[in-house]
Amino acid sequence: MHYVMSDIHGQYTAFLHMLDLIHFTSRDRLCVLGDAIDRGPDGIAVLQHIMRTPNITMILGNHENMMLEAIVGEQGKSYSWFHNGFEPTIRAFDKLSNNEKHEILIYISRLKLQHTITAAERKFTLVHGRPKLTAAEEKRLILRSKAGDYGRSEFDRRIWSEFVPDAIKREGVTFVFGHRMTSRYQNARPLEIYFGDGCIGIDCGCARGGYPGRLGCLRLEDLQTFYAELE
Contacting residues toward Mn ion, per CB under 5 A: 35, 61-62, 179
Which CB atom, from 35 or from 42, has the smaller least distance to Mn ion? 35
Which CB atom, from 21 or from 165, has the smaller least distance to Mn ion? 165
* Calpha distance 181→202 (Å, rounded): 8
User: Which residue is nearest to Mn ion, using beta carbons?
Assistant: 179
Chain centroid to CA 86: how far?
Answer: 16
**Residues composing the chain:** 231
Q: Helix, strand or coil for residue 197?
A: coil
Torsion, Cα of 9, 12, 13, 17 (10° steps): 90
Which CB atom, from 179 or from 208, has the smaller least distance to Mn ion? 179
- Least distance from C-beta 61 to Mn ion, angstroms? 5
- Is the distance from CB of 82 to CB of 90 less than 8 angstroms? no
H-assigned helices in 82-205: 87-94, 98-109, 135-143, 154-160
* Calpha distance 101→105 (Å, rounded): 6
- Least distance from C-beta 8 to Mn ion, angstroms? 11
Q: What is the number of alpha carbons within 13 Å of residue 148 lying toward its C-beta?
A: 7
Which CB atom, from 100 or from 156, has the smaller least distance to Mn ion? 156
- Least distance from C-beta 139 to Mn ion, angstroms? 25
- Least distance from C-beta 62 to Mn ion, angstroms? 4
Q: Helix, strand or coil for residue 141?
A: helix
- Least distance from C-beta 128 to Mn ion, angstroms? 6
Which CB atom, from 82 or from 118, has the smaller least distance to Mn ion? 82
